[in-house]
Amino acid sequence: MKTEIVRKEIKIDYFVIMPNHVHAIIIIDNDNCKPVGTNDPSRLKEISSAHVGANGHSPLRMRPKSLSSFIVGFKSSCKIRINDLRNTPGIPVWQRNYYEHVIRNDRDLYEIRKYIENNPLDWFNDKYYITKYTECFYGNK
């Protein structure tokens, strides 16, 4: 809930927190109105080729006020808080990547909002459904 306070360019339109994942519609009000999308090469900029990482490739830097920089910050702050609460410092919490979809019209927005709203109702049929999560949140079912 602090995201919109910390990052003035971010608006959270719709979201749901599931036992093992999160769905959200993120609106980025970026001053320079750059295009967004999964194949947008402008999202990442290479740092000087003199700084080569352990894998032999130049490190990449995320574009400020982008979806990728938001996700990195969000995952990092949540991981710290979760590990503080569990007393498990440094333990991974999130999967490595994330799924993104650019919403291009009102119909698409409506369908995605409906999916987010109905996702909790379908949790017991989810392929990642795990009984221990369900017992923790809903009691024995």
- Does residue 4 have a pLDDT over 50? yes
- Does residue 116 have a pLDDT over 70? yes
Q: How many domains does the chain have?
A: 1
- If you average pLDDT over residues 45-56, what whole number do you get? 40
Percent of the chain with pLDDT over 70: 70
- Does residue 76 have a pLDDT over 80? yes
Helix (H) / strand (E) element for 26: namely strand 22-28
The whole-angstrom separation of Cα 32 and Cα 37 is 15
Burial class (CB in 10 A: 0-12, 13-18, 19+), 67: buried
Phi, psi (degrees; rounded to nearest 5) at 10: -100, 135
- Does residue 33 have a pLDDT over 90? no
First-to-final CA distance of the chain: 30
Residue 135, pLDDT score:
57
Structural domain of 134: 3-138
Residue that wins the pLDDT comparison between 58 and 122: 122
- Is 74 strand, coil or helix? helix
- If you average pLDDT over residues 31-54, what whole number do you get? 45
